[in-house]
Amino acid sequence: MHELSIAMGIINIAKKETEKANKTSVELIELEIGSLAGVELESLEYVWETAVKNTVLENAKLEIDFKDAKAECLECNTIYSMKKMYDSCPKCNSYFKNILQGKELRVKSLEVI
């Protein structure tokens, strides 16, 4: 379950940012996670409460902005939704694409107190 290591990385980011702001805790944390990031949201939410115990995130509200994957075909310039990394263009069936969104895994914002 690599979601625990993801949660620990997020905790480290929050701790560093809280220290930079000379604050003691986080009130709200917003994450941006794409459908192609390889994160199981249910697993992340499952480990979250245990992972943040006794950290700056212990009392923080967790909000996740989930991004569905989108790509632009490099052959016909069609923009389309993707379910899997290897989905082809629905118009021309090309596999050559530029992924526009869906690989995100980032801390979008922190509200520190």
The tokens describing 96, both together, are: 């050559």
Phi (first) and psi of residue 8, to 5 degrees: -65, -35
pLDDT score, position 1: 57
The tokens describing 66, both together, are: 């989930």
- The total domain count for the chain is 1
pLDDT of 5-56, one tens digit each?
A: 999 999 999 999 999 999 999 999 999 999 999 999 999 999 999 999 999 9
Q: Give the CATH number of the domain where residue 47 resides.
A: 3.30.2320.80
Helix axes 3-20, 41-52, angle to 10 degrees: 50
Domain that holds residue 51: 3-112
pLDDT score, position 111: 96
For residues 30 and 104, is the Cβ–Cβ distance under 8 A? Answer: no
Q: Is the pLDDT of residue 81 over 70?
A: yes
For residues 16 and 112, is the Cβ–Cβ distance under 8 A? Answer: no
Q: Is the pLDDT of residue 93 over 70?
A: yes
CA 108/CA 32 separation, integer angstroms: 6
Q: Is the pTM of this model over 0.85?
A: yes
